[in-house]
């Protein structure tokens, strides 16, 4: 599924179902530091993205992560949650924020 179709699906789904950000990520993610150094739920990830600098937040890798988190929160499907977690992991790795 392409980037645009995934984001379109997230936007269209926003009208039908209220997002449930309390859903757990596919696996917990530990960061190198910061106030939210352990991400367990979609809400943890969403708050981390919300609180980052706008220049960093505007990067395509973070835009995709945010779209996938919203889609996963709306659908609740395991595949969407797994993809949101994977994309979050990719974005964090891109910014060198993952704890080894």
In tens, the pLDDT along 19-45 reads: 999 999 999 999 988 777 899 999 999
Determine the average pLDDT of the residues in 68-89. Answer: 97
Domain positions in the chain are 3-94
Does residue 69 have a pLDDT over 60? yes
Q: What confidence tens digit (pLDDT) does each residue in 40-61 have?
A: 999 999 999 999 999 999 999 9
Instruction: Flag whether pLDDT at 86 surpasses 80.
Output: yes
Query: Can you tell me the mean pLDDT for 71-82?
Result: 97
What's this model's pTM, rounded to 2 decimal places?
0.80
Is the torsion defined by CA of 30, 56, 71, 16 positive or negative? positive
What is the DSSP annotation of 41-96?
EHHHHHHHHHHS-HHHHTSHHHHHHHHHHHHHHHH--HHHHHHHHHHHHHHHHHTT
Higher confidence at residue 62 or residue 100?
62
Which pLDDT belongs to residue 6? Answer: 57
Mean residue pLDDT of the chain comes to 87
């Amino acid at each position: 599924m392409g980037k645009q179709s995934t984001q379109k699906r997230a936007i269209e789904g926003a009208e039908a179902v209220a997002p449930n950000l309390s859903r757990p990520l596919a696996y917990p993610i530990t960061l190198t530091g910061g106030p939210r150094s352990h991400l367990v739920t979609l809400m943890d990830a969403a708050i981390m993205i919300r609180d980052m600098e706008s220049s960093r937040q505007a990067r395509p890798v973070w835009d995709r992560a945010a779209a996938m988190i919203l889609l996963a929160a709306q659908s609740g499907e395991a595949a969407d949650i797994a993809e949101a977690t994977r994309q979050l992991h990719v974005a964090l790795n891109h910014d060198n924020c993952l704890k080894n």
